[in-house]
Amino acid sequence: MPHHFLCLEGDGIGPEIMAATRQVLAAAAPLMTREPILEDGVIGLAALSAHGTTIPDDVIAAARAADGVILGPVSHNDYPPVAEGGLNPSGVLRKALDLHANIRPARSHDGLPHPIEPPLDLVVMRENLEGFYADRNMFDGNGEFSPVDGVALSVRRITRQASRNIAATAFEWAARRPARHVTAIHKANVMRMSDGLFLDSVRAVAAEYPGVSYDEMLVDAAAAMLVRDPGRFDVIVTTNMFGDILSDLASELSGSLGLAGSLNVGTRHVAAQAQHGSAPDIAGKDIANPTSLILSSAMLLAHLGEAEAASAIDAAVTAALASPETRTADVGGTLGCAAFAAYLCDLLGTGSGSA
């Protein structure tokens, strides 16, 4: 039985980096136990123009039916209001597929300059379905609203079940890593009730993993510590907004946000997603770096049990990034998006690949 993947290009550089990712997956296909079948769906500005919404219902249905989704970046800031079809496809899919965990590794690469020492090797576990994110924290309606002119309010929802879910994912990952350590990031000194509930939930899960060490840190201190002493972190678990911000910081400190993989995981569904934005200013110029989406797709393969193919893709990316001659211009290299993908395919041993 094959793997069925739904590929959603998104906006801006999305089509270019998706094409590169498809080529690499095709090149890695001989290493997989099941044939990958890649199907396409239209989201974003193209879907808005054709269907009046940035994520049609048939795309959501196809995502539910797929073994995995590969999601390109979207230009959400350029969309019209929700009432006019401008939904955030990323938020919609996370909610529709119940993708409670956003897993974001940050790892420095040999040969590639990075701003700090020692090199980073950590994972941010970001809760995905609630917090201050207005498009996914209410059963019905929006969690951000304006009751009167000049006043804007945002509701932050934190639940015990969602907090336990992300904590369990964090401890499961930590138990497989050498350091076997989890740090919960919070602001319970100010948001005592909501972050207090989050911490209580994480502590309960921590008690179930005696082989994994555990500590806690305020989010402002964690931001400072990521710069000063990143080696003290292994797996970070935190709420949605804190996780979004800290994961971008960690990825940039490891070398570049463009090198950061990202996987959205639920009980039944999974979606690989580029961690960066759609970069419309460089779209169509063949200078985009496809590494984030490629590594995210490797994480997807690993999640589905295709460890050999995932490891081979990861090793090919590491080898390509080691030399300026074989990496993209944004990280001091010379290759364009298509040429970088072709080089990865050559390292995988099957030529330029297609899918």
Quick check: is 221 in a domain? yes
175 and 301 inside one domain: no
Q: Residue 32: is its pLDDT beyond 60? A: yes
126 and 66 inside one domain: no
What is the CATH classification number for the domain harbouring 340? 3.40.718.10
Domain end among 223, 253, 283 = 253
132 and 244 inside one domain: yes
155 and 83 inside one domain: no
pLDDT above 90 coverage of the chain, percent: 85
pLDDT score for 355 = 39
Question: What is the arithmetic mean of pLDDT over 97-117?
Answer: 88
Structural domain span for residue 226: 115-253
Q: Residue 353: is its pLDDT beyond 50? A: no
Quick check: is 105 in a domain? no
226 and 329 inside one domain: no
- Per-residue pLDDT tens over the stretch 150-209: 999 988 999 999 999 999 999 999 999 999 999 999 999 999 999 999 999 999 999 999
Our answer to whether residue 98 is catalytic in this structure is: no
pLDDT score for 350 = 61
119 and 229 inside one domain: yes
Quick check: is 109 in a domain? no
Our answer to whether residue 187 is catalytic in this structure is: yes
Q: Residue 261: is its pLDDT beyond 80? A: yes
294 and 329 inside one domain: yes
123 and 195 inside one domain: yes
Quick check: is 207 in a domain? yes
pLDDT score for 119 = 83
pLDDT score for 228 = 92
Quick check: is 110 in a domain? no
The contacts of residue 128 (CB under 8 Å, 6+ apart) are: 94, 99, 100, 101, 102, 136, 166, 240, 264
Quick check: is 36 in a domain? yes
21 and 77 inside one domain: yes
pLDDT score for 111 = 81
Q: Which residues pair with 216 in a beta bridge?
A: 184
Which is catalytic among the residues 248, 286, 330, 346? 248
- Number of domains into which the chain is organized: 2
264 and 314 inside one domain: yes
Domain end among 232, 253, 274 = 253
pLDDT above 70 coverage of the chain, percent: 98
Which is catalytic among the residues 11, 234, 244, 314? 244
Q: Residue 318: is its pLDDT beyond 70? A: yes
Quick check: is 277 in a domain? yes
- Per-residue pLDDT tens over the stretch 110-145: 888 777 777 889 999 999 999 888 777 777 777 888
pLDDT score for 352 = 46
Q: Cβ(349)–Cβ(342) under 8 Å?
A: no
2 and 80 inside one domain: yes
Which is catalytic among the residues 187, 286, 330, 346? 187
Our answer to whether residue 133 is catalytic in this structure is: yes
Global confidence as pTM = 0.92
Our answer to whether residue 220 is catalytic in this structure is: yes
Our answer to whether residue 149 is catalytic in this structure is: no
Which is catalytic among the residues 133, 209, 214, 343? 133
- Per-residue pLDDT tens over the stretch 37-94: 999 999 999 999 999 999 999 999 999 999 999 999 999 999 999 889 999 999 999 9
85 and 123 inside one domain: no
- Amino acid making up residue 204: A
